[in-house]
Structure 1
Amino acid sequence: MIRLVENKKLKGEIPGITSKSYAHRAIFCAGLAKGNSILEIDNLSKDIEASLNSMEALGVKLERDGNKFLISPPEEFNKRARIDVGESGTTLRFILPILGALGIEAEVIRRGSLVGRTNSVYFDLLPKHGVSIREDKEKIFISGKLKNYNFELPGNISSQFISGLMLASGGVGEVCEIKLTTERESKPYIDMTIEVMEKFGVKLEESNNAYSCSGSFIGQDYLVEKDWSNAIFFLASGVEVKGLDKDSIQGDREAIKYFNELGLENISNNSYKFIKKNESKVKIIIDAKNIPDTIPILSVLCGIYGNEIEVVNIERLKLKESDRIKSTVEMLERLGIRVSLKEESFSFNGIGEFNSCEIDSYNDHRIAMTAAIAAGFAKGPIKILDSECVEKSYKDFYKDLESLGGENHVL
């Protein structure tokens, strides 16, 4: 699907939407808990639907009333399951060790770009703990029961693998020890898992690059907090976003410090709305390690307001929904920015206004949303290829864009 987004400035205010990262974690905690839970989720993206559907495939009962989801775990989980995780990497990496913990024989189906994303950590680790796992094209087959919850694995992997093991232990009430042999990547996401698990009754302790988990999940009423990752797109356009937690541990909240370095200041007391008030720093260095999802939109924002920009620690961007190094650099160049790409970084200078152009999203929701926001800073409209991929994380993105003055339509 090709969408044309007009070069219109956005204005107004919008409420934040449910954090996809928090919602995933809450869904699995609730589905594996003793007792029922009620979750409040106002953004039913495709990824969140994948996690809900995976729990349903295990025998969990789901009832919806508006934004409230009643989650009722079964007395006994299904012995066999067929689970379609779509393109949700989080759902896949959480469900695999959970299936092992529950001893469920399952066929797990992946789709789109997720088929090519690595899961070698589990293929190396789980067989050492009694679980058989193999893959055939888009399918993963898993059977056996997880034994010995003392895990050792590198820390410089996706945090989703570490979180998955934590959730699996809480789901069956096993004492779990996870030792990381190298420095952690994406620590904020591990911290988020710990926060949600503790809300659902599991105790976690951290010491010397290791984690210990004990206890079982207990059903809760849980309001999922609002999402900083998706809010950053509209904040970059100058729109006011309400309902964000200023004390959130979401890693993408770190992006705000780069807004400040670009001379943008928050002018709202009770929410967030950024306007240009000061000069940008002469050189800004953006560390991508903890904020891979905001690198595309931060790069575009720097292209408007920045001087000399360098984005470092970019290696893991290759492992997202697209090769996000390639897709981000290509987008910047189509917008008119000259980019110097190195093995571990890329750099460019801001240009103040973008070209009217066509941008390939490579089916990456973050690229598509960034391109739509970039249109507001362009000389003319921007065409976005595979524009519908935003439904992965933000189903109503184009509707909300329209409500703020961002005219757009499918060609």
Structure 2
Amino acid sequence: MLHLSHPSAVIHGEINISGSKSESNRGLILQKLFPQIRLENLSNADDTLLLEKALDSDSGEIDIHHAGTAMRFLTAYFALCQGKKIILKGSERMHQRPVYPLVEALREQGAKIDYLENEKFPPLQIQGQRLSPSNFSIPGNISSQYITALMLVASRFAKPCKISFTTELTSRPYLEMTAALLEKIGVKVNFEPNGVTIYPTHVLPINLKIESDWSSASYWFSMVALAEKAEVKLLHYFPNSRQGDAATGKIYQLYFGVEMEASENFISLKKIPHFQPPKNFELDLNATPDIAQTIAVTAAAMKIKTKLTGLHTLKIKETDRLAALQSELQKFGVETKITDDSFEILSFSQGLKNPVIETYNDHRMAMCFAPWALREKISIADPMVVTKSYPNFYEDLEKVGFIINL
């Protein structure tokens, strides 16, 4: 149990967040496919370390624990490793998260992948084959990670490969991030109305510098919004970022009064003077679902009635994030309504004193609620789940005056 508070609600500091987990994981797969690539500013998150270890392992059994990105990316990668036989497994929750859209897309093109327990779910047994298909078909509305996994491995094929979407596309910014990394190493990518085509090429030696993680930055936007006074500099962020969660900047300026100034290698955050928050707003987060929890908690703390839509992917994450949010916000007296793809804040009443936040093995639950400690003391159960994406989170909070007791 971790107890979190702030004596003044005034925060000032310079924070160095490690490289984007999303970009790092893509970069590691590309580096394995093209060893001439060198990576800078890799993420120090658990998910990235697990993926890196799995890619370097000679074992016939790989356990990726809670790392959903690693499960999807490694499924596609090992399917191409000719002559290699791998069992790919994870945590109990991972074995409840579907992987069949990706598996079926690969199987249709000759991959040998078997479900070892429940149909459509990990663990998997993968017998690597030499694949070079010209077309994949996959739903576009379940997880962008399935499509990204195919985009990454398609860059190694001998001929162009089209990945056709059988449904409307979700989370396009994550695919654009993948495309941007591929284009940096010389691989041409062409988006079309119903798919994306990858044109392989000879990749030259190159250093890829990973931008710091925008999902992790979102918690600092929330802190600035909830603080009495604030000025925070976040290092290693680039202008015109291709990370989808860079939308945080505009969202927090418009609804929560956080001004962002971007420089060549950092962003500065401060409160907009005399900002009047809206009484309510509605926001479609179909393209950026990973910042939904942060936005919901910020809105609840500021007593703004809010409706967030486009959230259908949150039910198959580390936990059912919509149900978890509803349960924990209730402790603060916040009444909410959830559907399969939306989260709505309806009303506010007196909450519990010193509420204890359950984290549900979900790193984002711990971090999205932490800024509330600028308003009142809170406690976080199983606080070290943050290592999944932001291992230095609590150390960084201490740098700006938060008091942490275990």
Question: What TM-score do the two structures reach when normalised by structure 1?
Answer: 0.87
**Are 1:84 and 2:80 counterparts?**
no
1:351, CA displacement in angstroms?
5.3
Gaps of 5+ in 1: 59-79
Candidates 372, 375, 381, aligned match of 1:374 = 372
**Are 1:187 and 2:181 counterparts?**
no
1:240 aligned partner: 232
**Are 1:258 and 2:254 counterparts?**
no
Match of 1:237, SS?
helix
CA contact (8 A) 2:221 2:258 kept: no
Instruction: Give a deviation string over 1:125-178, Cα, whole Å, max 9, x none.
Output: 222222221233563211142352411122112011111111112234442111
Gaps of 5+ in 2: 225-230
Instruction: Give a deviation string over 1:39-80, Cα, whole Å, max 9, x none.
Output: 11254111110221122126xxxxxxxxxxxxxxxxxxxxx7
Instruction: Give a deviation string over 1:5-36, Cα, whole Å, max 9, x none.
Output: 12443512213331111111111111110x43
Q: Residue 111 of structure 1 aligns to which amino acid in structure 2?
A: S
Structure 1: distance between partners of 2:260 and 2:73? 39
Candidates 327, 336, 354, aligned match of 1:339 = 336
Match of 2:101, SS?
helix
1:81, CA displacement in angstroms?
3.9
Structure 2: distance between partners of 1:353 and 1:160? 40
2:115 aligned partner: 135
Query: Judging changes above 3 Å, is the alpha-carbon distance between structure 1 residues 218 and 81 closer, same or farther for their aligned structure 2 residues?
Result: farther
Candidates 189, 193, 209, aligned match of 1:223 = 209
Size of the alignment, in residue pairs? Answer: 385
Query: Judging changes above 3 Å, is the alpha-carbon distance between structure 1 residues 43 and 125 closer, same or farther for their aligned structure 2 residues?
Result: closer
CA contact (8 A) 1:302 1:309 kept: yes
Structure 2: distance between partners of 1:42 and 1:169? 23
Instruction: Give a deviation string over 1:337-359, Cα, whole Å, max 9, x none.
Output: 12133444232257599752011
1:394, CA displacement in angstroms?
0.6
In the TM superposition, 1:348-367 aligns within 5 A as 348-349=345-346, 355=352, 356-367=354-365
Structure 2: distance between partners of 1:343 and 1:43? 32
In the TM superposition, 1:143-222 aligns within 5 A as 143-145=127-129, 146=131, 148-216=133-201, 217-222=203-208
Q: Residue 178 of structure 2 aligns to which amino acid in structure 1?
A: T
Q: Residue 20 of structure 1 aligns to which amino acid in structure 2?
A: K
1:274, CA displacement in angstroms?
3.2
1:75 aligned partner: none
Instruction: Give a deviation string over 1:69-128, Cα, whole Å, max 9, x none.
Output: xxxxxxxxxxx7432323211111111112122323211121253221110113322222
Match of 2:212, SS?
coil
Structure 1: distance between partners of 2:393 and 2:351? 22
**Are 1:27 and 2:7 counterparts?**
no
Structure 1: distance between partners of 2:370 and 2:356? 11
Structure 2: distance between partners of 1:398 and 1:27? 27
Structure 2: distance between partners of 1:109 and 1:264? 44
1:234, CA displacement in angstroms?
1.4
Query: Judging changes above 3 Å, is the alpha-carbon distance between structure 1 residues 55 and 376 closer, same or farther for their aligned structure 2 residues?
Result: same
Structure 2: distance between partners of 1:362 and 1:218? 44
1:306, CA displacement in angstroms?
4.7
Question: What TM-score do the two structures reach when normalised by structure 2?
Answer: 0.88
**Are 1:121 and 2:101 counterparts?**
yes
**Are 1:302 and 2:299 counterparts?**
yes
Q: Residue 54 of structure 2 aligns to which amino acid in structure 1?
A: S
Q: Residue 31 of structure 1 aligns to which amino acid in structure 2?
A: K
Structure 2: distance between partners of 1:290 and 1:112? 28
In the TM superposition, 1:61-80 aligns within 5 A as none
1:68 aligned partner: none
Query: Judging changes above 3 Å, is the alpha-carbon distance between structure 1 residues 396 and 353 closer, same or farther for their aligned structure 2 residues?
Result: farther
